[in-house]
Chain A
Amino acid sequence: MVSGKLTELLAKYGPPCSDVTRLLSESLDRPLSVRERLKVRVHYFICVWCERYGKQLHFLRTAVRSNPERMADQSAPEPGSLTPAARNRIKERLRQ
């Protein structure tokens, strides 16, 4: 456990959550530097919310990649299927 004093100091001088969430998001797009990783680790001592945020972003990624069919099936900025006309146009074009 971290002592109350240290917690206070970290909260005061450590990076704000808005910054830590940015690093957590970027860690999904690029490798973080050692310094950046340390910053996040230290912040976790005092902030369970950012730790949850990080875990949940991972979950979100796993979720949308796990089931592309499910994602697509929900995709209905209507119409959710090819119109008969569109189908015919494609058929026509593929025949050539």
Chain B
Amino acid sequence: MRSGDLSDPQTWLEQHGDYLYRCAMLRVRDATVAEEMVQETLLAAFQAKDRFAGQSSERSWLVGIMKHKIVDHFRKSVREQPVSGDELMNDEFMGLFDKDGHWKIETTGPKEWMDPSSALDKAQFWQVLKRCLDELPPRTSRVFALREIDDVPSEEICAAMKLTKSNLWVMLHRARTHLRQCLEVNYKGLTS
């Protein structure tokens, strides 16, 4: 029996419960489901603790398990639903371009970002990013989190969320465009 450097499983809920809950909320956006995800993650982790390889921290190991639980949850609960214009943020997107499809350079053309990595240490950057993320339609923000934060492959996301690839890609494109714009406008540190 070997269990790397795991702490006593009895303390996991105490140590990581809130963190896992926040991770789950960011992805599922529903308190009841998030609670369920924490529970299922801890249950699965208890059962798998002998297979912990000790290559990551206990916390990232738990988050890794939760990622699978969340994809599973979507696979079971999500029903096929047409993608709406709202979800594609058509109005917002169209507003960025002129009638020929080029940036409205003075206003919406992406500005130069000075040393963006220095923003990563700033609490305000993360607050703004979070606020921008919250402005996305729910399903769009879910697929964004799965793809960009959790690096789940497109195929898996499509299967779980019952989306075609082209729909998924349009949703991601709109989400990224919104976040880029929203960050640039609301976090001044990027352009000054």
Q: How far is the CB of A85 from chain B (nearest CB, A)?
A: 9
Q: How far is the CB of B131 from chain A (nearest CB, A)?
A: 8
Contact-residue size bin, chain B (C-beta under 8 Å from the other chain) = 35 or more
Q: Mark B113-132, 1 if CB is under 8 A from A, else 0.
A: 10011011000001101100
Residues of B within 8 A of A57 (CB): 176, 180
- Which of A75, A80, A90 is B39 in contact with, Cβ under 8 Å? A90
Stretch from A1-9, A14-22, A34-42 forming part of the interface with B: A14-22
Contact A29 B172, beta carbon cutoff 8 Å: yes
Contact A77 B103, beta carbon cutoff 8 Å: no
Question: B63 at the A/B interface (Cβ < 8 Å)?
Answer: yes
Q: Mark A62-95, 1 if CB is under 8 A from B, else 0.
A: 0111111111111111011110001101110110
Interface residues of B (CB under 8 A from A): 13, 17-19, 21-23, 25-26, 29, 31, 35, 38-39, 42-43, 46, 60, 63, 93, 96-97, 100-103, 105, 109-113, 116-117, 119-120, 126-127, 129-130, 134, 147-149, 151, 154, 168-170, 172-173, 176-177, 179-180, 183-184
Contact A49 B103, beta carbon cutoff 8 Å: yes
Which label, helix, strand, loop or mixed, suits the secondary structure of the A interface? helix
Residues of B within 8 A of A22 (CB): 169-170, 173
Question: A53 at the A/B interface (Cβ < 8 Å)?
Answer: yes
Residues of B within 8 A of A74 (CB): 126-127, 129-130
Q: How far is the CB of A81 from chain B (nearest CB, A)?
A: 4
Interface residues of A, count at CB 8 A = 49
- Which of B22, B42, B184 is A72 in contact with, Cβ under 8 Å? B22
Beta-carbon nearest neighbor of A54 in chain B:
B110
